[in-house]
A and B are shown apart, each in its own frame.
Chain A
Amino acid sequence: DGGITQSPKYLFRKEGQNVTLSCEQNLNHDAMYWYRQDPGQGLRLIYYSQIVNDFQKGDIAEGYSVSREKKESFPLTVTSAQKNPTAFYLCASSMQGQDGEQFFGPGTRLTVL
């Protein structure tokens, strides 16, 4: 089945450590996105990538980094510089040039201890 997978579902990290969240899609989508959701908040865009080897900062990129070495993969690293990293992280993808519709993965819940 085509879709987006994120792993792990739950992730715990000690304060001061970097952690990488995985996102893989087999939908042959060009564009991929990372969002963060906090309680009572909408989805806020962290980074997005329209094509392999290219990515752009979203609204809240500070403390995060990404790479896009393959079309299928868009990993997100939460660095120790991110001041409030505990959140629910969502990855999404879409066809380039399509009217906005994005398909989401199941999410990763990151908790910093």
Chain B
Amino acid sequence: DQQVKQNSPSLSVQEGRISILNCDYTNSMFDYFLWYKKYPAEGPTFLISISSIKDKNEDGRFTVFLNKSAKHLSLHIVPSQPGDSAVYFCAASGVSGAGSYQLTFGKGTKLSVIP
């Protein structure tokens, strides 16, 4: 059963507009959430994160919102640029029984920013 869900496999947005990528999770023990960006045939790169004690974190054009009661987070990119075109993975973290932090990833959303 998927604990982290990204229900939109793809998203197309015009350059300059806002991109909103969504992510839902089911495990209430997750306490830290991350977004990664991935280009084809490359490793993911960390984009932005948020702790469960916050509801918003902003870094330049990127903002992540967390709604704990709904178990939902979203990534906003404003304004969107063609270079933002990539696959975005949502990941959730919680301490495992072995005491380590493990990440659980969603399946990703492919963002295409149209010039």
Residues on A lying within 8 angstroms of B by beta carbon are 4, 6, 31, 35, 40-45, 48, 50, 56, 58, 88, 90, 92, 94, 96-107, 109
Which residues in B have their C-beta under 8 angstroms from that of A96? Answer: 100
Query: Count of chain B residues with Cβ under 8 Å from any Cβ of A?
Result: 27
**Cβ contact within 8 Å between A107 and B106:** no
**Cβ contact within 8 Å between A43 and B101:** no
Which residues in B have their C-beta under 8 angstroms from that of A98? Answer: 101
Known contacts A99-B49, A100-B32; A40/B107 CB under 8 A: yes
For residue A107, which residue of chain B has the nearest CB?
Answer: B43
CA distance A90 to B39 in the complex (A): 13
Shortest distance between the CB of B77 and any CB in chain A (Å): 20
Shortest distance between the CB of B108 and any CB in chain A (Å): 6
Shortest distance between the CB of B53 and any CB in chain A (Å): 11
Shortest distance between the CB of A68 and any CB in chain B (Å): 13
**Cβ contact within 8 Å between B98 and A56:** yes
Known contacts A42-B4, A42-B89; A100/B43 CB under 8 A: no
Which residues in A have their C-beta under 8 angstroms from that of B99? Answer: 50
Interface-centre pick from A40, A45, A88, A99 (highest chain B CB count, 10 A): A99
Which residues in B have their C-beta under 8 angstroms from that of A99? Answer: 32, 49, 51, 93, 101
